[in-house]
Structure 1
Amino acid sequence: MPYNSVPVDTSHLPYCFSRLPVRIHRDKEEIQRFTLELVHATKTEGSKAHKHALYRHAVTGPDMNVYALSWCEADLDKMKLLIEFIELIWAHDDVTEEDPLDDAVSECEQLRRAMYEEYDNDPVADNGFGLRIQRFRDIRNRMKAVDAVGWIEIQDTMEEWLPIDTKLKEWESLEEYLDLRKVHVGNNVMTSFIRWAMGIHLTKDELVFIKDYTDAVGVWLGLMNDYMSWKRERTQPTDRVMNSVFLLMKKHNLPEEAAVDMVRGILVKQEGKVLEMSADLHGQAGLSTGMRAYIDNLEYYAGATFYWSLLAPRYAKPQSFDPTKAD
């Protein structure tokens, strides 16, 4: 049974096609306070990065901190370490969206090396990125000290995710796209955070056993992110569009509205698959306590991501935000 979270009332939403549960951490106010303090302490006031972060964490109600929603059963101290870690990852992700790909790949490799002590003697640039590398090393050490086994799992998933943009290409089919999209959306990284933050240690056999379900959640998250972010991405000039709406428009010569409706339909069908698989897993005998808690929290994470994406200004009002002109 959950012990750190409470349910979020979603009955007020004007429309909601998700049947996944939404819960939030009991310490949501403290988590929001810590998040904003970290943003102000690590980013120059008025800078583009500072405005991006504040906009990302703008809330439209008391139950809108993305961390308190996503890892609703996390230990609070671990949650704060995760927030430090994820804010650095998000800063890197902003770089890869804005910088030329070759520069992004170079910085990606430096960030990857920062996960390992053997590269700690590597020189770092005397700039904001160098400072992030130093902070990344410090957070790595603190997370590893708390749970070394869980950190190795995070390390492995980060190895897979950090260079993911180098695998983008012209997709032959939606199925081929979604096979990478479930990784690109960060599902394996984020679910390793669930286990680390809750002290859940699954065996290798258990991780293999749950993989099909985790992948199904990842496909749903990728489709959901595509659907929610399309309004934000549709006018952005880029040569690396990662969105199933764009793919369907291009591959099948569909008008935008038809492609959006098609993605929504596929998303609803995928959600049904996730819920069916979850029910089947819960019905199985012999699952460990950690496995059952993990299955529950995969649902909470997916439901929370939908809820936040539906209401966050980042997606709900994307065209109103220009980081170069933001107040």
Structure 2
Amino acid sequence: MAPFASHTIDTTGVSTYFCCFPVKNSQLESLPIIHEALRVTIQSCTVPGTRERKKAEYRHTNPAGHLYGLCLPMAEKNRLRYAVQLIEFLCIVDDVMEDLPFGEACIEHAILRQALYEKYDEDQYAGLAVGSLKTFLRNMRVELEQNDPSSGQLLKALDVSLHTRDSVDIEFQSLEGFVCQLIRWVSAIPFKLAEEEEKILRQYEHSIGVIVGLTNDYFSWEMECQQATDRIRNAVAVLMKEYDSLPDKQAKSILKDIIIDEEDKASRLKADIDANVRFSNDLKKYVLALQLLAAGYSYWCATSPR
């Protein structure tokens, strides 16, 4: 199936948006599917009145544009629902795990991963925090296996993501493998391209990952700095420490410059890829999808109520 129609957003009136990438939004057509996917996911994975339910509902109140319409404007119509559910599921997983001590979070992730394997389908152990999440993920796995045989590699990437999600303390993150595989799958791009193309794609994926990860840190710092945690997650805090107790406003300014420099690097690499006649249309399509992901996420972060 084809992607939804999308339109380019005029970002000039949004002073907080500093990304140089163009932004597109598909929500005029895709919003009913997005809303239904979110309804099912949030109701299945959270309990009414809990912090996780409130955060999930609040996450989608941005009047400037819907997160998934902005980030996935090239999604195939028959795959968008699954992509929304899987991403929202991971957001809820992070919300559930963030208050757990590091060791307990690792155990809960291990229990959750059982849902991705048929041999554990009769195991009803729900852990201390992931019971409904485990059931939801198991049902998602079964439905994807039945309806889309190509989803097998996507589910393997999800398993790796859950395995590594809380296994190390991460400061700066690149775009994780699951997100890359998801963008390929939802945009009908092969999981594997020619060796030369994959080599250059790793460079581009890294740049987009840096942009997305650091943009999240930049816009979420004021909220995150008030939270108690045993894991360093925000690049602002890292820069403050690296520069010997640098004030957070100056650290944010440095971080913004880092993001802008990485955007320039990604733009130049994309221009080289687009101009090279030897590269496939699949490669160029994937690079565009990643750029739109970063642009949409940056715009959503810049306009979201905090």
TM-score scaled by length of structure 2: 0.89
**Paired letter, 1:191:** C
**Do the aligned residues in 1 keep the contact of 2:116 with 2:141 (CA within 8 Å)?**
yes
**Deviation per CA, 1:216-251, whole angstroms, max 9, x where unpaired?**
111111221111111111111122121121111112
Residue 255 of structure 1: aligned partner:
247
Report the alpha carbon displacement of residue 82 of structure 1 after superposing the two structures with TM: 1.9
Residue 110 of structure 2: aligned partner:
109
**Deviation per CA, 1:18-57, whole angstroms, max 9, x where unpaired?**
1112111142431443245325633433232221111111
**Do the aligned residues in 2 keep the contact of 1:227 with 1:245 (CA within 8 Å)?**
yes
Percent identity over the alignment is 27
Report the alpha carbon displacement of residue 288 of structure 1 after superposing the two structures with TM: 2.0
**Do the aligned residues in 1 keep the contact of 2:52 with 2:96 (CA within 8 Å)?**
no
**Do the aligned residues in 2 keep the contact of 1:28 with 1:65 (CA within 8 Å)?**
no
**Which structure 2 residues correspond to residues 56-75 of structure 1 after superposition, within 5 A?**
56-61=59-64, 64-75=65-76
Change (3 A) 1:243 1:126: closer
Residue 52 of structure 1: aligned partner:
55
**Which structure 2 residues correspond to residues 277-296 of structure 1 after superposition, within 5 A?**
277-296=269-288
Unmatched segments (≥5 aa) in structure 2:
none
**Do the aligned residues in 2 keep the contact of 1:228 with 1:309 (CA within 8 Å)?**
yes
**Do the aligned residues in 2 keep the contact of 1:24 with 1:72 (CA within 8 Å)?**
yes
Look up the SS of the partner of 1:167 in the other structure.
Answer: coil
Q: 2:205 aligns with which of 206, 214, 218?
A: 214
**Which structure 2 residues correspond to residues 1-327 of structure 1 after superposition, within 5 A?**
4-25=5-26, 26-38=28-40, 41-42=43-44, 43-61=46-64, 64-125=65-126, 129-156=130-157, 158-160=159-161, 162-168=163-169, 177-178=171-172, 181-183=173-175, 187-203=176-192, 205=195, 206-253=197-244, 254-313=246-305, 317=306
Range that drifts further, 197-206 or 301-310: 197-206
Give the Cα–Cα distance (whole angstroms) in 2 for the partners of residues 207 and 6 of structure 1: 29
Give the Cα–Cα distance (whole angstroms) in 2 for the partners of residues 146 and 273 of structure 1: 39
**Deviation per CA, 1:280-308, whole angstroms, max 9, x where unpaired?**
11111222222221111111001001001
TM-score scaled by length of structure 1: 0.83
Give the Cα–Cα distance (whole angstroms) in 1 for the partners of residues 169 and 95 of structure 2: 17
Change (3 A) 1:295 1:259: same
Look up the SS of the partner of 2:7 in the other structure.
Answer: strand
**Deviation per CA, 1:135-176, whole angstroms, max 9, x where unpaired?**
21111122233433343144225404542322117xxxxxxx
**Deviation per CA, 1:252-278, whole angstroms, max 9, x where unpaired?**
211222211111111111111111111
Root-mean-square deviation (Å): 2.4
**Paired letter, 1:111:** L
Unmatched segments (≥5 aa) in structure 1:
170-176, 318-327
Give the Cα–Cα distance (whole angstroms) in 1 for the partners of residues 42 and 107 of structure 2: 27
Residue 174 of structure 1: aligned partner:
none
**Paired letter, 1:300:** L
**Do the aligned residues in 1 keep the contact of 2:102 with 2:230 (CA within 8 Å)?**
no
**Do the aligned residues in 2 keep the contact of 1:144 with 1:151 (CA within 8 Å)?**
yes
